[in-house]
Structure 1
Amino acid sequence: MTDADSSSTPEDPTPESTRRETPGGGVRPTADEIEPAAPAEFGLVQAWWGDGKGKTTASLGMAFRAAGHGYRVHVLQFLKGGADSVEGVRGEYNAIASVPGISYENTGHYGWHGLLDGSDDDEHHAKARGALARAEEIVAGAADADLTEPLAPDADPEDGVHLLVLDEILYAVEQGLLDESDVLDLLDATPENLELVLTGSHTEPTYLLDDADLVTEVRKLKHPFDAGIRARKGTEY
């Protein structure tokens, strides 16, 4: 072992010495003020699918993380117009409103397509098509913008975003409200530096495997819904 090796690895490590060897030197970082910035390595396509809880939660976590670095983020939700078990204003909407650089839209229709909850399936279809058109508009705006530069945090999303979350778009395909080709065409139009996050679907979106850079299955082992526990405020909405 060289002198350099021995100096970097204590012979008798203690909690204090171990903390000193971490990247942060054992010091808890303090939060910086959020200033507009541009990501250096964005431009991948992510897909989150599966029958487990956490797909939207994971995508929102990435959205807040990116916004915390000053990147411009937009969340566009398909099929989440609400139900009798979910309040119209959800926790993420309140949180998004308090963070600069992140915005959201909900294009869903009341109820859930195919669940016989009294909602109009034709209206679900129309809302899904409208959401797709809105996604295409935002992607086109990103293609026209310079995503290597900071973007105004309060600018309209069609003026450019660094990260776009299309929540439940994959479930809209699974339900037959959109076609696989609709999503693939959207990916073809996505500019080089736009990070695109797609969520939804209990069925594996095999049509994305050649185009997506990250595909994650969120698998259910157990879910409170199976025990009759409905959506809870602060965890599901």
Structure 2
Amino acid sequence: MSEQDDSDGQPGDDERSRDDRLANTPGKGVTPEASAIEPAAPEEFGLVQAWWGDGKGKTTAALGLGMRAAGHGYRVHLLQFMKGGTASVEAVRGEYNAIAALPGFSYETTGNFGWHGFLDGTDDGEHAARAEAALARTSELVEAAGEADLDAPLPLDGDPEDGVHLLLLDEALYAANRGLIDSEELVALVEGKPEGLELVLTGGHESPDYLLDAADLVTNVRKVKHPFDEGQRARKGTEY
């Protein structure tokens, strides 16, 4: 009988303590492996998240969250309010290519060329019109989610009009901060969302105080240092 075995044939203290430790780890000590993506339904979705601040990473965080949810087989849609970018940003975006290759993840953008408030020749009225169109589109998608069974798997190749589990509203907070959309209308959409829809809003350098009561998670992405301040332009593969 081994030194780790008790006299009655039961595992010894060292072995039991190891099993106890593994039982409290993710996957019980088994290294995760990739598996095929199949349609599934989330068990605990339904919160509202807001990511704002003057630091880089708000959209990146939302995209990462979307990728994670899609990897579990949940239906995800990205709607971008303001994503025209600057002259240094090419028309092709790396995130769009990646989303197109990922089952269950779709996107659309209403962003005008250029950036609101920059001296780039773009019309502020056009920026506002496109942001308002994105708000109206959000209303359609939220209503569609309310008509869908979010407790059940949704087709990974289905239209977002047929319902999604996770809706990412990129730069929606920026549009509200800059007065391109009515913040009260945005809050009304958030408060009226179906119970099972996870909603993520990003953007803005100012605290979305109007959203604090309606949001479950609010993160301030704070800049400590940014290469843009030294003249570095947007780089392919990191900013677009």
Residue 130 of structure 2: SS of its match in structure 1?
A: helix
CA contact (8 A) 1:8 1:21 kept: no
Could you say what the CA RMSD is over the residues aligned between the two structures, in angstroms? 1.9
Which residue of the partner structure matches residue 194 of structure 2? 191
Which residue of the partner structure matches residue 13 of structure 1? none
Which residue of the partner structure matches residue 15 of structure 1? none
Stretches of 4+ aligned residues off by more than 6 angstroms: 18-21
Which residue of the partner structure matches residue 77 of structure 1? 80
List runs of 5+ in structure 1 lacking aligned partners.
11-17
Matches within 5 A, 1:1-237: 6-9=14-17, 22-24=25-27, 26-237=29-240
Q: Which has the larger radius of gyration?
A: 2
Amino-acid identity (%): 66
List runs of 5+ in structure 2 lacking aligned partners.
1-10
Q: C-alpha displacement at 1:68, in angstroms?
A: 0.3
- Deviation track 1:115-150 (CA, whole Å, cap 9, x = no partner) reads 111111000010001011111100000000000000
Q: C-alpha displacement at 1:19, in angstroms?
A: 8.2
Q: C-alpha displacement at 1:8, in angstroms?
A: 4.6
Distance in 2, matches of 1:214 and 1:234, equals: 28
Q: In the superposition, relative to structure 1, how do residues 26 and 109 fare at CA in structure 2: closer, same or farther (>3 Å)? A: same
TM-score by length of 2: 0.90
CA contact (8 A) 1:79 1:128 kept: yes
Q: In the superposition, relative to structure 1, how do residues 129 and 5 fare at CA in structure 2: closer, same or farther (>3 Å)? A: farther
Q: C-alpha displacement at 1:82, in angstroms?
A: 3.2
TM-score by length of 1: 0.91
- Deviation track 1:163-205 (CA, whole Å, cap 9, x = no partner) reads 0000000000111101110111111220000000000010000
